[in-house]
Amino acid sequence: MSAIMQLCDVSLRFGSKHVLSNVNLSINQGTLLGLVGRSGAGKTTLLRVLTGMIAPSSGKVFLPNRASLKKMVGFASQEYSFYPQLSVVENLWYFGRMYGLSSRVISSRIKELLVLMQLEEARHRIASKLSGGMKRRLDIALALIHDPPILVLDEPTTGLDVFLQEMVWSLIHRIHALGKTVIISSHDLRELEKWCTELVIVSNGKLIGGQELKSLKGARQLEVVFREVCDARV
């Protein structure tokens, strides 16, 4: 598979603190990549670099054909992005306009996303009145309104009960099956191990994945390796 995004020697400093240190990561097209790490390990910062929200202090983020991150990536953070006083459809229209899409394209995308996100019956409901699961689905729909090839999700199941967590993961799986490359961060190692095609451990600004992670794991439980790596890098 070809790489849809590459990070080469990416470092990020806030003052004297190194949040990311010489990170190298190649993300293949069609991957469902899980990022796991303890709080403060650098997961969210890494996602913000991947989405272009933060520029690295050094190193580069490479995309095919010099495409822009804004067009290539859709991002849904832990905090909701929708406008609570607007309806589901009004939010989708607003975000479509923000991406510079034509009325024809926005209308078509809204029809597709309402079906995909199972929000058809709630299309005219005010966002603040939605259930927790519907709010999460709306936020993911907003991240997909411009039909980006890469979807980045930061802790999408946080604050949801077990039933809604399963629902969100099922939705992510359907999105991935459409050909999207999905990058998702979570504290729940078991969720990521169950659903993702690739895993990367983020620990103290460093990444462990691919063959390095396979070599460390061997026949052991991934949770054991995760604890070893995180404890060794504190």
For residues 3 and 38, what is the distance between their CA atoms, to the nearest angstrom? 27
What's the pLDDT score for residue 152? 96
Whether the Cβ atoms of residue 110 and residue 89 lie closer than 8 Å to each other: yes
Cβ–Cβ contacts within 10 Å for residue 219, how many?
Answer: 4
What's the pLDDT score for residue 219? 60
The domains of the chain are located at: 3-232
Cβ–Cβ contacts within 10 Å for residue 43, how many?
Answer: 22
What's the pLDDT score for residue 234? 46
For residues 56 and 30, what is the distance between their CA atoms, to the nearest angstrom? 25
The CATH architecture that domain 3-232 belongs to is: 3-Layer(aba) Sandwich (3.40)
Tell me the mean pLDDT per 10 residues along the chain, length 234. 88 85 91 87 87 91 80 92 97 96 97 96 96 94 96 90 90 94 89 89 84 73 74 54
What single-letter amino acid sits at 134? Answer: M
What's the pLDDT score for residue 189? 83
